[in-house]
């Protein structure tokens, strides 16, 4: 069992694009593809509701597992383990969207989730834990379910972002960053990577030194949100008539 998974102290930093990392990426890609190809299996409202509730329960349990591990192992720290990163919020949003199908929440999940989870999977910052540590597994599972929730909402429930979704998400993201900044000062943390770049390396390395990379990140975030919206522009009005909501906050039809 120790050869497949361990729960003890740190076992070293993961080296990007070695076999464990590449296999994790491949498994996530296969899972996302399988869900997309099997979208027609959700033929009834009952099957959709059943999947949404079971999937929401799974996300809840897998996220709870890391906090239990932090507590039991003595690794809990307000400097590092508070659920304040965008991917943490995306997990909570995924649960809320699966249960409520609210339009604004689905928009935030789409832009934060696809952009943040993809970047995290490709340039992983797990800390001093690598395969086969429990934290390694939980990291990739938690980011995979964000992408799976987004794919499900788009391909099965017919979610479409509204015309103003890019601007709304950008403004909400900046408002959240303003809230997080004093929390970083109080906890000496690095939530949203506002205090420094990830130690393991990331795309932020291309955006200049601190604090200038934060300004560069503003432009990158706006560009990324815009690019994520582009696939929904052709025929968007027609699609929204049969899908989720129209951006008024009324929510996705049940």
- pLDDT tens column, 101-128: 999 999 999 999 999 999 899 988 888 9
Q: What is the reported pLDDT for 134?
A: 96
Quote the CA–CA distance of 12 and 208 in Å, as a whole number: 27
- pTM tops 0.75: yes
Point out the residues of the chain with pLDDT beneath 70: 1-2, 199-203, 234-254
Q: Which helix (H) or strand (E) holds 78?
A: none
pLDDT in tens, 35-80: 999 999 998 999 999 999 999 999 999 999 999 999 999 999 999 9
Hey, which residues does 6 pair with through a beta bridge? 133
- The Cα-based distances of 56 to 52, 91, 97, 247 in angstroms read 6, 10, 9, 23
Q: What is the reported pLDDT for 180?
A: 96
Q: Which residues contact 143 (CB under 8 A, 6 or more apart)?
A: 28, 87, 117, 120, 121
Contact of 90 with 113, CB cutoff 8 Å: yes
Q: Which of 85, 95, 54, 113 is nearest to 187 (CA)?
A: 85
3-state secondary structure of 6: strand
On the question of a cis peptide bond just before residue 132, with omega within 30 degrees of 0, the verdict is yes
Q: What is the reported pLDDT for 4?
A: 87
Hey, which residues does 133 pair with through a beta bridge? 6
Q: What is the reported pLDDT for 238?
A: 46
3-state secondary structure of 81: coil
- The Cα-based distances of 155 to 32, 161, 168, 188, 244 in angstroms read 11, 13, 23, 41, 11
3-state secondary structure of 134: helix
- The Cα-based distances of 246 to 52, 80, 239 in angstroms read 21, 38, 10
Contact of 116 with 142, CB cutoff 8 Å: no
């Amino acid at each position: 069992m120790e050869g497949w998974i361990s729960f003890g102290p740190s076992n070293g930093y993961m080296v990007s694009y070695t076999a464990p990392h590449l296999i994790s990426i491949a498994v996530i890609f296969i899972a996302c593809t399988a869900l997309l190809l099997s979208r027609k299996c959700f033929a009834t409202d009952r099957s959709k509701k059943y999947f949404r509730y079971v999937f929401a329960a799974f996300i809840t349990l897998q996220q709870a597992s890391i906090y239990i591990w932090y507590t039991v192992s003595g690794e809990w720290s307000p400097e590092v383990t508070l659920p304040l990163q965008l991917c943490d919020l995306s997990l909570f949003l995924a649960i809320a969207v699966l249960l409520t199908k609210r339009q604004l929440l689905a928009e935030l999940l789409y832009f934060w989730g696809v952009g943040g989870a993809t970047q995290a999977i490709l340039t992983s910052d797990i800390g001093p834990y690598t395969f086969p540590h429990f934290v390694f597994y939980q990291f990739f599972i938690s980011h995979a379910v964000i992408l799976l929730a987004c794919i499900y909402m788009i391909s099965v429930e017919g979610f479409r972002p509204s015309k103003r979704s890019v601007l709304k998400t950008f403004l909400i993201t900046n408002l959240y960053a303003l809230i997080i900044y004093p929390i970083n000062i109080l906890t000496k943390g690095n939530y949203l990577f506002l205090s420094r770049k990830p130690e393991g390396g990331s795309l932020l390395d291309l955006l200049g030194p601190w604090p200038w990379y934060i300004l560069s990140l503003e432009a990158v975030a706006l560009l990324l949100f815009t690019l994520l919206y582009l696939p929904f522009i052709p025929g968007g009005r027609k699609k929204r008539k049969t899908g989720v909501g129209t951006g008024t906050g009324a929510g996705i039809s049940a």
